[in-house]
Structure 1
Amino acid sequence: MGEWFWEPAPVLDAPASGVAWALGLVGDVRDVLASLGLVADGGTGSVEVCELSAMGRPLFERRDVPLDVLAGQASGLRLLPDQHLTVALRLPGEWMEAGVRRRAEKLFVLRVHVWGRGAVLLVLAAHADAWMTLDLRERPQPEVAAENAPRLAAALKQISELTGSETDPGDPTWHARPTADGFADLLVEGAEYDDSWDNFEVPARWRRLVKLLPGGYGEEEDYECTTEEPVRYAEVRCGERLLGFLWASADGAAGYEPRGAAGDAAFGAGVPWLLRFRAARSAGAGASEALEGCLGRIEAGVTVGAVVRRAPSLDALQELSGRG
């Protein structure tokens, strides 16, 4: 939805202490967010060191490491003057909607960049619309913003105090306009784009999912992926965790909607079931028959529920998948 930047004082001895300093800073900022109830337990971290002349080719890289082992994996690193370090945390978190607590597996992403000569940049990115007076469908939600925006504003202020630098809001995004204390009131200023959910978020999720499919998504191999008809759907879970929804419609369309709040796992969980759909179509089965054939099955620890539910439209199911 938006991001914010801070420029703390340079690290005096970046080659010797830059890595430890960056790890300490991301830990301190995470503690600020946790103290305000914005982030929850869990999350993963990444560390990357590159030459400034070859930023796309890491000399050292660790990705998606549990937070409790991240420091150990990076402990032996040194940062040379012509190198660049990035430490990033992907943090789950919670927000409130009408008194109900919602959770997303990637609510915030926190990054610290340290250059070998000492310059530092801290970046915080938010990945939910709970702080905004309009949701992604341009519907007013002032009560939701009132429940959550004050905690975000308090976090930005405390991070500014921690780093000794001013909060610099990032550029407007598809969905919102960051400010030094959160987000602009879109009820007053209006949204940057009309229907950013349909125009940007849904296509972006679909492109990400298609990249995971062998050969992409083909018109000949796969069912039609859109429909104007009501849809029947089943929940896709890993244990108690809801990852997405497998669906089909009466006019022969079928697909999978990843649940945004479940994070990266939601996308991978859909791949085996879309491949089952592909095999079913190749065998001449209709979309509804293909859905029935997946009910109650388990694939790589992921289960399709045996209960079929109905949504009035694919749009309604996509909106359900996008909520916390």
Structure 2
Amino acid sequence: MISSTPIGDWTWELTADSGEIRPTRAAQIAAAIWNELAERELALPGGKANVRVMDRDNPRDVHLDVKDMRVGTAPLAPQSALAQAVAQAEALDGNFIVIIRIECPGLWLEPGFKYRAEKLFAIHLEVWGGKLLAVTLDTYSDAWLTRDTRDREQPEVYAANAPRLAAALQGISALLGSAPTPGDENRYAAPSETGFKDLRNEGPAYDDSWGTFEGLNRASLLQSRIPQSEDEYEQVTEHPVRYFTIQRDGRTLGFVWASVGDAAAGYFPRTAAGDDAFDVGADWLLALREAHGQGLAPLAALDWLAKQPTRPEIGVISEDTPQEASSSDVLEELSGRY
């Protein structure tokens, strides 16, 4: 499963023995970590990078904030957007917090298949006053676990992916000169220095943690993109649902759905598609809100959506007739797994 919040994380800390850790050095380390991931197809071109510089004494005083820079095969290639943003940070003088974050698309493996997630890992670096560098690596996939985040054993998936993560962590540790500090056990899993602890005997902290928490997380991310309103359909149903697949440029971004038995309808983002799935989802939710305002029942709203003029920027409905799933949980799992 792919989640919208980290499954686990690892941290390394470096201190400057002499001189300062400048933004250029931090960016070089970030690029070297990206290369370690890229060697194992855990990072691919097409990710996004952010650079932010804040006053250490007053973090609200932001001196530089550059977002959503595209990352290519060489993240710090001359004249790249990231290289230019780092150069701007380098030119600043003061007691700063420098943050560099790279979200990494990557591949996870299943028997006979490779699947791409637009945010498989995230590399996060913070430099405090030029003296302390904290590096954090987050992952958003459960492919490294002996049991997935819905409590199902996955021996083949684990065997294909866990060694890739272990090798990447070892390579990053060699690069940084120390072993990582694993993040705390969370609702999904328990990180270790080489990946994750085997929870088949002890069990996870929560049963079906993905099903319990991810729906709430994704709903919150979607609702944060649109104005609040009470003029909308119910978001939960126990009935089968009918749905349309939303695609843009041949890539599935999510599913707009309606219950066959009550007043529920909504949109499930395909988490592996990254932020695009949530951005277009906001527009589809607003369209459903408009249908609700017209007094349309959920299935009638689905038909109404299919007849509206196409808006390629928010994706298009890919089927002529709606598909049916036995429950909203089945469709939600589809949106989170692939």
- TM-score in same-fold range (> 0.5): yes
Match of 1:312 in 2: 326
1:231 aligns with 2:229: no
Offset of 1:30 from its aligned partner?
0.4
Structure 1 residue 123: Cα displacement: 0.8
Separation in 2 of the partners of 1:133 and 1:57?
44
Aligned length: 319
Q: Is contact 1:81–1:117 with CA below 8 Å preserved after alignment?
A: no
Instruction: Tell me the amino acid that sits aligned with residue 281 of structure 2.
Output: G
Tell me the SS of whatever aligns to 1:47: strand
Are residues 1:274 and 2:285 paired?
yes
What is the CA deviation profile of residues 7-39 of structure 1, one whole-angstrom value per residue up to 9, with x for unaligned ones? Answer: 23427432xx61110110111010010111211
Change (3 A) 1:222 1:66: same
- Which residue of structure 1 lines up, in the alignment, with residue 115 of structure 2? 102
Q: Is the 8 A contact 2:56 2:129 kept in 1?
A: no
Query: Is residue 2:18 matched to residue 1:8?
Result: no
Q: Do the aligned partners of 2:233 and 2:298 also contact (CA within 8 Å) in 1?
A: yes
Instruction: Name the residue aligned to 1:265.
Output: 276
Tell me if structure 2 keeps the 8 A contact 1:81–1:115. no
- Where do residues 139-288 of structure 1 align in structure 2 (5 Å cutoff)? 139-215=152-228, 217-218=229-230, 221-250=231-260, 251-288=262-299
Q: Of residues 67, 70, 80 in structure 1, which corresponds to 2:82?
A: 70
CA distance in 1, matches of 2:111, 2:89: 46
Match of 1:299 in 2: 311
Q: Secondary structure at the match of 2:88?
A: coil
Deviation above 4 Å: which 4+ runs of structure 1?
none
Q: Could you tell me how far apart the structure 2 residues matched to 1:114 and 1:102 are?
A: 34
- Structure 2 partner of 1:45: 49
| 1:112 to 1:11, Cα distance in 2 relative to 1, 3 A | farther
Contact conserved, 1:108 with 1:127, CA < 8 A, in 2?
yes
Residues 23/139 of structure 1: CA separation in 2 closer, same or farther (3 Å cut): same
The amino acid across from 1:257 in the alignment is F
Amino acid at match of 2:178: S
Cα separation, 2, equivalents of 1:231 and 1:11: 60
In 1, distance between residues paired with 2:297 and 2:237? 14
- Residue 118 (1) aligns with residue 131 (2): yes
Contact 2:54-2:96 within 8 A present in 1 as well: yes
Q: Contact conserved, 1:80 with 1:116, CA < 8 A, in 2?
A: no
Q: Deviations over 1:94-114 (max 9, x none)?
A: 010122101100000001111
TM-score by length of 1: 0.94
Counterpart amino acid of residue 264 in structure 1: D
Question: Does the 8 Å contact 2:42/2:104 carry over to 1?
Answer: no
Deviation at 1:282, TM superposition (A): 1.5
Go from structure 1 to structure 2 and tell me whether the alpha carbon gap of 1:115 and 1:256 turns closer, same or farther (over 3 Å shift): same
Distance 1:283 1:48 in 2: 44
Q: Which runs of 5+ in 1 are unaligned?
A: none
1:11 and 1:292 map into 2 onto residues whose CA distance is 65
Equivalent residue, structure 2, for 1:27: 31
Letter in 2 for 1:70: L
Q: Matched residue of 1:41: which SS?
A: coil
**C-alpha separation in 1, matches of 2:163 and 2:281:** 36
Q: Over aligned residue pairs, what C-alpha RMSD do you find? A: 1.6
Cα offsets for 1:55-102 (capped at 9, x unmatched): 244221111111241111221323545211111101100010122101
**How far does residue 252 in structure 1 lie from its aligned partner after superposition?**
2.5
